[in-house]
């Protein structure tokens, strides 16, 4: 079935063109009210947005077919990420399409603050020629403090170093090695505030970064500091910023973003040495084309190939990796579903191990598939997006283990769970690198496909059991498709995985449990 995508915000025409070239049906319906958007969203697999569309919980609830939301830009403040994740909807952004544009805007504002360009322009055009009033400062030799040294911050750093500035950075995720590579100095926030002549912010808005430049933080800054924010509104305490400008402690500030947008009556407006722009960080013709192309390509890769790029709420999986990982993910989902159906709610921790050829792959999608299979036995509408969240909500400890060794099989995925009765472990491999097979269940070697309706039976190994099992199923009109057996030792505990053409009803399961030697019966569905 052809995927359908809705573009709900004005976007460069290349986005729609790419969707159509890739064989995806696309509608461009912009400027809709929330009620109007909810009335049509149920028809679409994908939603491509800019900043105008608000992807609320109510919209997501109405989007019965929605699989992916693509934000042409960086910020996803207008998307309810927890609601999307709970519904298994992937949320993507395009963090690289407007990186250079945003970084250049930050540098432009640094220059504008240093030389008081807006006020000098207004004064000159008013015929005043106040040459002595606008005594600026050089940026050469000054210290630039970066709060956030990720993609955009690192570009700003490179431009600042080219201007012969010294760059210090506060970023908990910045490694010492990366700092050396960028040619900058990693420091703590208080040290940055004390030393920086200019401060520019390049971090997302989170609970940890909200008001990172608070009143207390601004009080710790160097007298005369100049502050630039082209990242997200809410990173700077705007009331405290105004007080700092009024007192002269802050030498200048330039905001491209505000806590409330559109900002029409900010108390900062009209404050001396304050510059404002209307969220222009990404507003160049090149950036608009780039983010439109990127969001269309990313969404197309996901809807057609299963590739996940720049996702906010699940691990990335490139379009090139997806075909190779697809059989492993199918195997992993089946192993998770198998152990979940047999063990039930008694799962306290889970470990996913890979070895052989599987150890050379991206393990995150394998883990996600295992969790999707496991959690799918407890909850409806589970997929790789929301399964990790559901696992955390249940308090499950999830471990990933990678072995470089190659054992009895060329490639192997093993899933172990901790239960009240000890560890339970299942193992699977791929035949011909594409066909999933179970090869061990709870320490008993067995070879079985995991498909359709099945029965898991544990019994004491004794003559006549298979005949009794077949007779009971036959009397109930249930046809056996395949029969897979394994045992620990002769006359010991044995397992049977029986594939059948019809679901096993509670009554049939009861009859099977009454057969001599039967220890456990669990109907399975894949």
Domain covering 321-449 in this structure, CATH number: 3.30.1330.90
Max CA distance (Å), the chain: 108
Tokens describing residue 503? 């679901």
> Which entry of 50, 279, 337, 437 is annotated as an active-site residue?
279
Per residue in 385-423, pLDDT (tens digit) is 888 888 888 888 999 999 987 778 899 999 999 988 889
Q: What is the pLDDT of residue 407?
A: 77
Ranges of H-type helices in 376-461: 387-393
Which helix (H) or strand (E) segment holds residue 244: the answer is helix 238-247
Domain with CATH 3.30.1330.90 in the chain: 321-449
Q: Is residue 269 over pLDDT 90?
A: yes
Q: What is the pLDDT of residue 510?
A: 94
Domain with CATH 3.30.70.260 in the chain: 451-525
Radius of gyration of the chain (CA): 30
Residue, of 4 and 322, whose pLDDT is higher: 4
pLDDT-derived band of residue 55, with 50, 70 and 90 as boundaries? very high
What's the mean pLDDT in 421-449? 90
Tell me the β-bridge partners of 435.
431
What does each C-alpha distance from 62 to 40, 236, 423 come to in angstroms?
Answer: 9, 35, 41
Nearest-angstrom CA–CA distance, 384 and 271: 50
Per residue in 109-154, pLDDT (tens digit) is 999 999 999 999 999 999 999 988 999 999 999 999 999 998 899 9
CATH superfamily, domain 451-525, is ACT domain (3.30.70.260)
Q: How many helices (H) and strands (E) does the chain have?
A: 17, 22
Tokens describing residue 177? 């090695």
**Strand, helix or coil for residue 203:** coil
Q: Is residue 368 over pLDDT 80?
A: yes
Per residue in 63-77, pLDDT (tens digit) is 999 999 999 988 888
- What lies within 8 Å, CB to CB, of 314 at 6+ separation is 90, 308, 368, 384, 385, 388
Q: Is residue 379 over pLDDT 80?
A: no
In the residue annotation, 279 being an active-site residue is answered as yes
Q: CA 328 from chain center: how many Å?
A: 20
Residue 355 near residue 410 (C-beta atoms within 8 A): no
Residue 33: exposed, middle, or buried by beta-carbon count in 10 A (0-12, 13-18, 19+)?
A: exposed
pLDDT-derived band of residue 31, with 50, 70 and 90 as boundaries? very high
Q: What is the pLDDT of residue 491?
A: 58
CATH superfamily, domain 4-93+286-305, is NAD(P)-binding Rossmann-like Domain (3.40.50.720)
Q: Which residues of 492-508 are buried (b: 16+ CB within 10 A; e: fewer)?
A: ebbbbbbbbeeebeeeb
Domain with CATH 3.40.50.720 in the chain: 4-93+286-305, 98-276
User: Kind of pairing, strands 274-276 and 435-441?
Assistant: unpaired
Per residue in 188-203, pLDDT (tens digit) is 999 999 999 999 999 9
Tell which phi-psi region holds residue 444, choosing left (phi > 0), alpha (psi between -120 and 50) or beta: beta
> Which entry of 181, 261, 320, 475 is annotated as an active-site residue?
261
Tokens describing residue 40? 């049509």
In the residue annotation, 261 being an active-site residue is answered as yes
Residue carrying structure tokens 């504002």: 109
Q: What is the pLDDT of residue 71?
A: 96
Task: Check residue 101 and report its DSSP letter.
Answer: H
Task: Check residue 410 and report its DSSP letter.
Answer: S
Which helix (H) or strand (E) segment holds residue 111: the answer is helix 99-115
> Which entry of 71, 105, 202, 232 is annotated as an active-site residue?
232
Nearest-angstrom CA–CA distance, 307 and 234: 33
Residue 438 near residue 428 (C-beta atoms within 8 A): yes
Q: Which residues of 342-354 are buried (b: 16+ CB within 10 A; e: fewer)?
A: bbeeebeebbbbb
Nearest-angstrom CA–CA distance, 308 and 314: 8
Instruction: Provide, rounded to the nearest whole percent, the portion of the chain with pLDDT above 70.
Output: 99
Three-state DSSP string of 289-344: HHHHHHHHHHHHHHHHHCCECCECCCCCECCCHHHHHHHHHHHHHHHHHHHHHHHC
Average pLDDT of the residues of the chain: 92
Which helix (H) or strand (E) segment holds residue 473: the answer is helix 465-475
Count Cα neighbours of 484 within 13 Å in the Cβ-side half-sphere: 21
What residue ranges in 357-510 does DSSP mark as E strands?
397-403, 411-419, 422-431, 435-441, 444-448, 453-460, 480-487, 493-500
What's the mean pLDDT in 345-358? 91
Q: What is the CATH architecture of 98-276?
A: 3-Layer(aba) Sandwich (3.40)
Q: For the chain, percent helix, then strand, then coil, each to nearest 5?
A: 35, 25, 40
Residue, of 322 and 167, whose pLDDT is higher: 167
Which helix (H) or strand (E) segment holds residue 170: the answer is strand 166-170
What does each C-alpha distance from 277 to 228, 255, 256, 285, 384 come to in angstroms?
Answer: 11, 7, 5, 17, 40
């Amino acid at each position: 079935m052809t995927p359908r995508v809705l573009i709900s915000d004005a976007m460069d025409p290349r986005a729609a063109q790419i969707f159509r070239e890739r064989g995806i049906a696309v509608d461009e319906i912009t400027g809709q009210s929330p009620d109007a958007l909810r009335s049509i969203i149920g028809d679409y697999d994908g939603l491509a947005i800019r900043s105008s569309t608000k992807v609320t919980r109510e919209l997501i609830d109405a989007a019965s077919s929605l699989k992916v939301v693509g934000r042409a830009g960086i910020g996803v403040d207008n998307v309810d990420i927890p609601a999307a994740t709970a519904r298994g909807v992937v949320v993507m952004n395009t963090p690289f399409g407007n990186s250079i544009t945003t970084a250049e805007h930050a540098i432009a504002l640094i220059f504008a603050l240093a030389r008081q360009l807006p006020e000098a322009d207004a004064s000159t055009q008013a015929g005043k020629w106040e040459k002595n009033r606008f005594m600026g400062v050089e940026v050469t030799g000054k210290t630039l403090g970066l709060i956030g040294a990720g993609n955009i911050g690192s570009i700003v750093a490179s431009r600042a170093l080219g201007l012969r500035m010294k760059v210090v950075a506060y970023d908990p995720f910045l490694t010492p090695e990366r700092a050396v590579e960028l040619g900058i100095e990693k420091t703590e926030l208080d040290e940055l505030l004390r030393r920086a002549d200019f401060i520019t912010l390049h971090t997302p808005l989170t609970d940890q970064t909200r008001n990172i430049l608070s009143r207390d933080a601004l009080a710790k800054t160097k007298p005369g500091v100049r502050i630039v924010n082209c990242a997200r509104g809410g990173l700077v305490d705007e009331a405290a910023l105004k007080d700092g400008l009024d007192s002269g402690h802050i030498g200048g500030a330039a905001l491209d973003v505000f806590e409330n947008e559109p900002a029409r009556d900010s108390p900062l407006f009209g404050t001396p040495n304050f510059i404002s722009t209307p969220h222009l960080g990404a507003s160049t013709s090149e950036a608009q084309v780039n983010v439109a192309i990127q969001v269309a390509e990313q969404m197309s890769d996901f809807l057609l190939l299963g590739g996940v790029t720049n996702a906010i709420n699940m691990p990335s999986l490139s379009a090139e990796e997806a075909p190779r990982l697809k059989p492993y993910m199918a195997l992993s989902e089946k192993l998770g579903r198998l152990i979940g159906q047999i063990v039930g709610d008694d799962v306290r921790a889970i470990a996913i191990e890979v070895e052989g050829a599987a150890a050379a792959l991206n393990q995150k999608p394998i883990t996600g598939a295992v969790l999707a299979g496991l959690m799918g036995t407890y909850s409806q509408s589970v997929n790789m997006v929301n399964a990790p969240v559901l696992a955390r909500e249940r308090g499950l400890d999830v471990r990933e283990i990678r072995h470089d060794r190659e054992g009895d099989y060329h490639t192997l995925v093993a899933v172990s769970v901790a239960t009240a009765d000890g560890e339970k472990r299942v193992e699977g491999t791929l035949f011909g690198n594409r066909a999933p097979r179970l090869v061990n269940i709870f320490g008993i070697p067995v070879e079985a496909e995991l498909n359709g309706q099945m029965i898991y039976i544990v019994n004491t190994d004794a003559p006549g059991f298979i005949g009794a099992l077949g007779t009971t199923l036959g009397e109930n009109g249930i046809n056996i498709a395949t029969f897979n057996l394994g045992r620990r030792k002769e006359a010991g505990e044995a397992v049977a995985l029986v594939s059948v053409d019809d679901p096993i009803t509670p009554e049939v399961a009861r009859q099977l449990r009454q057969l001599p030697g039967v220890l456990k019966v669990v109907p399975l569905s894949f």
